[in-house]
Chain A
Amino acid sequence: GESVGLHLPTLSVQEGDNSIINCAYSNSASDYFIWYKQESGKGPQFIIDIRSNMDKRQGQRVTVLLNKTVKHLSLQIAATQPGDSAVYFCAENAGGTSYGKLTFGQGTILTVHP
């Protein structure tokens, strides 16, 4: 799994480009995954989720891909806009009686340049 460090991974893109943010998860029993967007000084906002019986799910301008073989999750943002600049977190949940009990990755800082 991801270790917690003082320096988050960063991704810088130009406005209009596509962005891909990656996340490795640790628990092979996790059956539910979520991507959150967090702007400075605010709480995380739900972006998109995916269950372990799927490998791809699309939303508005976003796509989440899940590769259970290598325990990897990615978030693709199409036509990235300056308003997409934020920290993006993946989270995993083992489900069952632990519903809602999420384990978060360390996050990735996305900066979109106009």
Chain B
Amino acid sequence: DGGITQSPKYLFRKEGQNVTLSCEQNLNHDAMYWYRQDPGQGLRLIYYSQIVNDFQKGDIAEGYSVSREKKESFPLTVTSAQKNPTAFYLCASTTPGEGNTIYFGEGSWLTVV
């Protein structure tokens, strides 16, 4: 099936640890995105990449890092510098032919313990 796969679904992090969330898409989309969602709130853009080997900061990039070595993959690392990382993380993708509609994965829950 075509789509966006995020893993793991649930992740627990100890304070001071870096963790990496995986996002893979087989839609052949050029652009990929990471959003953060806090309970009862909307989505905020962390990072995005419109082409392989290039990415841009979004509105809340501090404490996060990404890489885009392959078209289908856009992993997000939540570093120890992110002071409040507990949230729901959503990966998304699109391509110009989709008319700006972006499609989301099922999300990953990250909790700091």
Whether A102 touches B41, Cβ cut-off 8 Å, given contacts A41-B107, A43-B90, A43-B107, is no
Chain A residue with Cβ nearest B32: A100
Does B28 reach chain A (CB closer than 8 Å)? no
Does B45 reach chain A (CB closer than 8 Å)? yes
Grouping DSSP codes into helix (H, G, I), strand (E, B) and loop, the A interface class, with mixed when no group exceeds half, is: loop
Grouping DSSP codes into helix (H, G, I), strand (E, B) and loop, the B interface class, with mixed when no group exceeds half, is: strand
A interface, size bucket: 20 to 34
Task: Give the B interface residue count (CB, 8 A).
Answer: 27
Whether A43 touches B48, Cβ cut-off 8 Å, given contacts A99-B31, A99-B94, is no
Whether A89 touches B42, Cβ cut-off 8 Å, given contacts A43-B106, A99-B100, is yes
Whether A100 pairs with B104 at a CB distance below 8 angstroms is no
Whether B107 pairs with A101 at a CB distance below 8 angstroms is no
Whether A100 pairs with B106 at a CB distance below 8 angstroms is no
13 contacts between A and B (CB under 8 A): A4-B42, A5-B41, A6-B40, A32-B100, A34-B101, A36-B104, A42-B107, A44-B104, A49-B100, A89-B43, A100-B92, A101-B33, A107-B41
